[in-house]
Amino acid sequence: MKDFVLRRVVALLLPFIQMFGIYVIMHGHTSPGGAFAGGMVVGLGVIGFSTVFGIEQGKTKMPEHVTTITESYGTLWYILMGLVGIFKGLPFLANKLAVDVGVPGELTSGGLIGLIGVGVGIRVASTMVTLFFTMMEEEA
């Protein structure tokens, strides 16, 4: 789209959209939302960018080989975090027993859940983007 105002506004808003998405991902255990919702927002930022600046431009920001890696390894991260418990001699996915979860209400109080959330967020964001690109390719 060639519209100057639209391009400017999206370019200005994009960092804030992404920042908000990351905020929601990181605060999944202390406030409403979480990794899925936050990942969605991050993905929607990229989708908004691609609709305004064109699919080609969007694909240079998130090429297919990158989304393949983030999608797979985002989920792999979940299993790896589960293994932390086993390395500490505790059951799979142990959290409170395995690591220091800190003071309730603080950012770090989720223990491994915060870290798992980062993986899930990355995965959801790249899945959203892949879905969008796939659908647009079929349209064209």
Residues that bind another protein (CB under 8 A): 65, 68-69, 71-73, 75-76, 79, 82, 85-86, 89-97
C-alpha span between 47 and 31 (Å, rounded): 25
Give the nearer residue to another protein in terms of CB position, either 90 or 136. 90
**Shortest Å, Cβ 29 to another protein:** 14
**Shortest Å, Cβ 8 to another protein:** 36
Token pair, residue 12, equals: 């200005």
Reported as half-sphere exposure (CB side, CA atoms, 13 A), residue 131 has a value of: 9
The CA-based angle 21-23-26, given to 5 degrees, is: 110
The CA-based angle 31-36-40, given to 5 degrees, is: 110
**Shortest Å, Cβ 39 to another protein:** 16
Phi, psi of 95 (to 5 degrees): -120, -65
Give the nearer residue to another protein in terms of CB position, either 61 or 88. 88
**Shortest Å, Cβ 59 to another protein:** 17
Give the nearer residue to another protein in terms of CB position, either 58 or 71. 71
